[in-house]
A and B are shown apart, each in its own frame.
Chain A
């Protein structure tokens, strides 16, 4: 057993052990007190800042301990497209692909978990695209 981090409550008598369980005991967000992962990436511009591409997919790989429910949002030239959701059961390594077709220069992604029955470990976020024009 390694070191354990404890928090002491300022307005109460409880001592909290940090780093175990799934929930945030202090706050309910919406109808859930679960912690949810929420990742934004910086943009990629595969054909330079003024080049042109047709972006085709956001590809995500991750490991889950008890099923998953994640949302993937492509962001092209700073504009978010519709979020696509993916759900599944089981454990182990998983891959999801959010397909879309949008022309642009820059692409970013938002990946988040929507519900949590276990732990999620994010391994890779990638994209695919057709290169139309590079500049320079």
Chain B
């Protein structure tokens, strides 16, 4: 009789030379590029797409060198990247679907490339491994490049206000002091039991100050500098570089601290200290990103291979099922772990040599390994999960319907000029910027109300070529620019100093009046200002003679005082001439 037998269940097996043990008769031995997609179902692993490309902050933005973090923050996402060209690390604020970026004003730009919202470190001497966490709506970032002593930063305000500068937290001193020889570097931060924890090490060169793998903590609401507190350390040995804390993660109710060769469990704060328990004295964490929390477990990669800890339990080996694969992994300090909640899998992205970068996934619901997948092909520096928020069903607000058009510049003087344009959307505001020609150094002059289609610049410098540009702003979205074009370029007038009048004299004296006379310079259209000083005091304008006039009568004088007079030409659009005079007259003597 023909009999049948099923190679099942598909979801029962282990993969990659797993120990068959008992009860695996016919089960899956090896499932490359597979994910468990349901009860007894295996599907092909899906692919990937490029979501966004991060750029630097240069005038002509270039792609950064390395993406160091991408992950959730508030209702969106943040990313951190390093550029070897600028030696800077940048912070990006992105939407949850990574379809664009926000600037410091909170304005969103939909784009396949992202501009940074802030520079978080400058003058870096190496690629930073960053650790990012969120506590009470605030973003905390630490990194591992020791050349920057200010290793821990955070925006001083909540996520809604990225316009503030990023401020250093605990610039130095694991003991809480701001100065001293025990400057500390913070490699990571994590929020646990309403406290922010930072881990780092002393930077001194002596046994007393260097290589101190101390944990520090502080609690809200003060959110002050990290304090050494009660000296939570890994295991019971300190001041040893080998026990420097590598990473930390949450497993249910417990905080798990991993050093290179130790794992310590922190379970809560007692009367005056944190409860801790050494879990492993031989194998710790292999790298700062080798661990990930999934449910009540913390999964991590030790030097023996993958392990996991459930809550307050002990470490549980997962490596015994995939010994052949573990033997192929190199550069274990670069391992990145991530949890994909949609597929219930913890993914370890590992380097298997020869340019292959491989995903090996553990299905947390069914407790089986899948893969190793043939290769991912790209070295991954970070991985994380972002939960897109539910968008309103209403249509998103629209931006300007068009850009401004038809630029012209009128009324160009020595210090003023008027920009004119035709509005592309009369309901939108207009932002106008000005720069010296060919410098590209535009600065926003003002943002005008809807419907305004001209603006007069003031306070310009003489004889300088300028150019302006305008764009509309509506609902937080910008139109493209109008300008700089020929019509938006202009050069302010040069300074024109008028020739002064000459031959000032006084005549026609009476008891209380005098006549002031001068000879006009010949400048066309000039008026003449008459300035007077009383008894040696300062001169002040007393009257202006009309165009062509060469004399003025000053009245109301005191017959016992001495007066001084001087005159100058003035004309609109030109600089006044120098003064002619002074000439003085003593009213008591007539001389």
Q: DSSP majority for the B interface?
A: strand
Q: Please tell me if the beta carbons of B2 and A130 are within 8 angstroms of each other in the complex.
A: yes
Q: Is B377 an interface residue (CB 8 A)?
A: yes
Q: Is B491 an interface residue (CB 8 A)?
A: no
Q: Please tell me if the beta carbons of B48 and A7 are within 8 angstroms of each other in the complex.
A: yes
- Per-position 1/0 for B342-386, Cβ under 8 A of A: 110001010000001100000000000000011111111111111
Q: Is B108 an interface residue (CB 8 A)?
A: no
CB distance from B376 to the nearest CB of A (A): 5
Q: Please tell me if the beta carbons of B379 and A9 are within 8 angstroms of each other in the complex.
A: yes
Partner of A26, one of B28, B32, B375: B375
Q: Please tell me if the beta carbons of A127 and B70 are within 8 angstroms of each other in the complex.
A: no
Q: DSSP majority for the A interface?
A: strand
Beta-carbon contacts under 8 Å, A40-82 to B: 40-46, 56, 59
Q: Please tell me if the beta carbons of A15 and B34 are within 8 angstroms of each other in the complex.
A: no
Q: List 15 A-B pairs, Cβ < 8 Å.
A: A3-B385, A3-B388, A4-B96, A4-B386, A8-B67, A8-B81, A8-B380, A9-B378, A12-B67, A13-B64, A26-B357, A41-B26, A42-B13, A108-B29, A121-B42
Contacts of A45 in B (CB 8 A): 25
Contacts of B543 in A (CB 8 A): none
CB distance from A47 to the nearest CB of B (A): 9
Partner of A11, one of B26, B43, B54, B379: B379
A13 CA / B31 CA spacing, docked (Å): 31
Q: Is A126 an interface residue (CB 8 A)?
A: yes
A43 CA / B4 CA spacing, docked (Å): 14
Q: Please tell me if the beta carbons of A15 and B46 are within 8 angstroms of each other in the complex.
A: no
Contacts of B48 in A (CB 8 A): 7, 16-21, 23-26
Q: Please tell me if the beta carbons of B387 and A125 are within 8 angstroms of each other in the complex.
A: no
Partner of B51, one of A15, A28, A116: A15
Contacts of A18 in B (CB 8 A): 46, 48, 340, 383
Q: Please tell me if the beta carbons of B7 and A27 are within 8 angstroms of each other in the complex.
A: no
A3-B385, A24-B376 given; A40·B29 CB < 8 A: yes
Q: Is B69 an interface residue (CB 8 A)?
A: yes
**Closest chain B residue to A4, Cβ basis:** B386
CB distance from A83 to the nearest CB of B (A): 16
Complex A-B, nearest 6 residue pairs according to Cβ-Cβ distance, in ascending order: A27-B377, A26-B377, A8-B67, A26-B378, A13-B63, A10-B381
Partner of B384, one of A6, A23, A119: A6
A26 CA / B51 CA spacing, docked (Å): 14
A40-B30, A129-B2 given; A15·B70 CB < 8 A: yes
Give the interface size bracket for B toward A. 35 or more
Contacts of A94 in B (CB 8 A): none
Q: Is A128 an interface residue (CB 8 A)?
A: yes
A26 CA / B396 CA spacing, docked (Å): 34
Q: Please tell me if the beta carbons of B381 and A38 are within 8 angstroms of each other in the complex.
A: no
Q: Is A96 an interface residue (CB 8 A)?
A: no
Partner of B8, one of A2, A21, A125, A130: A125
CB distance from B232 to the nearest CB of A (A): 30
Q: Is A123 an interface residue (CB 8 A)?
A: yes
A91 CA / B384 CA spacing, docked (Å): 33
Q: Is B417 an interface residue (CB 8 A)?
A: no
Among A24, A38, A46: residue with most chain B CB under 10 A: A24
**Closest chain B residue to A111, Cβ basis:** B7
Contacts of A38 in B (CB 8 A): 30-34, 374
A2 CA / B340 CA spacing, docked (Å): 10
A9-B67, A12-B63 given; A17·B51 CB < 8 A: yes
Beta-carbon contacts under 8 Å, B174-229 to A: none
A43 CA / B343 CA spacing, docked (Å): 28
A119-B44, A128-B3 given; A21·B20 CB < 8 A: no
Beyond A14-B51, A17-B49, A39-B28, 11 extra complex contacts between A and B, CB < 8 Å? A6-B51, A11-B379, A14-B54, A15-B52, A21-B47, A25-B48, A27-B374, A37-B45, A109-B7, A124-B40, A127-B5
- Per-position 1/0 for A97-136, Cβ under 8 A of B: 0000000000011000100100111111111111100000
A7 CA / B13 CA spacing, docked (Å): 28
**Closest chain A residue to B33, Cβ basis:** A35
A74 CA / B199 CA spacing, docked (Å): 55
Q: Please tell me if the beta carbons of A125 and B6 are within 8 angstroms of each other in the complex.
A: yes
Q: Please tell me if the beta carbons of B43 and A121 are within 8 angstroms of each other in the complex.
A: yes
Contacts of A28 in B (CB 8 A): 377
**Which chain A residues have a beta carbon within 8 Å of chain B's beta carbons?**
1-29, 34-46, 56, 59, 108-109, 113, 116, 119-131
Q: Is B10 an interface residue (CB 8 A)?
A: yes
Q: Please tell me if the beta carbons of A42 and B49 are within 8 angstroms of each other in the complex.
A: no
A41 CA / B46 CA spacing, docked (Å): 22
- Per-position 1/0 for B48-78, Cβ under 8 A of A: 1111111100000001111111110000010
Partner of B45, one of A2, A3, A14, A35: A35
Contacts of B377 in A (CB 8 A): 24-28
A20 CA / B97 CA spacing, docked (Å): 13
CB distance from A24 to the nearest CB of B (A): 6
- Per-position 1/0 for B431-446, Cβ under 8 A of A: 0000000000000000
CB distance from A1 to the nearest CB of B (A): 5
Partner of B26, one of A1, A25, A36, A42: A42
A6 CA / B31 CA spacing, docked (Å): 23
Contacts of B380 in A (CB 8 A): 7-10
A118 CA / B92 CA spacing, docked (Å): 34
A34 CA / B374 CA spacing, docked (Å): 11
**Closest chain A residue to B382, Cβ basis:** A8
**Closest chain A residue to B25, Cβ basis:** A44
A39-B31, A42-B24, A130-B2 given; A25·B378 CB < 8 A: yes
Q: Please tell me if the beta carbons of B67 and A14 are within 8 angstroms of each other in the complex.
A: yes
